Amino acid sequence: MIDIRLVDEAPDVKACTEWLLETECGGIDIFIGKIRSINDGKHVVQISFEAYKPMALKELKHITDHVSEQWKVARILIHHRLGMLRAGDIPVIVGVSASHRAEAFEACRYIIDTLKQNVPIWKKEYYENGSVWINAHA
C-alpha cells in the first residue's frame, strides 16, 4: 500500500507510525525532517515550501514504483508539507514497512534522497534581513 500526500497542515506523526505498524512486517523505518533554527550560521525565521503539485505527485509515484520493484516492502508513506513553516516544524515524513530492517532502511533512504534530487518542491528561507531560495544560485 502506498500513501503519498502533499499537505497544508503538520503531518500527524502518530497516525503515520500507526499506519506503518498495522502490518505483520518486522522492520519499520521512518525518516522525519525537522526545520532547524540555524542554517549556515544564519537565524532562520521561517521557511516557505511550494510545489508544482501535479508533477511532484507524479515524481513521488515514480519513486514509490521504483521502491516496490527494488525492495520487498509492504507499505510506503510520503507526506510533504507545503506553505509557511517555522523552526521545529516537520516538513516531511517518509516511512517504510518491510519484512526486515535492511530493506526498510535502504528503501527509506532511497526515497528521501531521491525526493531531494528530483521532486519539484522548493524552499525559501527567511532571515531577519532577507530571504533566499535554497540551492538556486550558481
Residues in contact with other proteins by CB under 8 A are 33, 49-52, 54-56, 58, 80, 91-92, 112, 115-124, 133-138
Rounded distance, CA 55 to CA 77, Å?
18
First to last CA, the chain: 40
Q: How many residues does the chain have?
A: 138
Q: Give the position of cell 534530487.
A: 117
Rounded distance, CA 4 to CA 72, Å?
18
Read out DSSP for 116-133? HHHS-EEEEEEETTEEEE
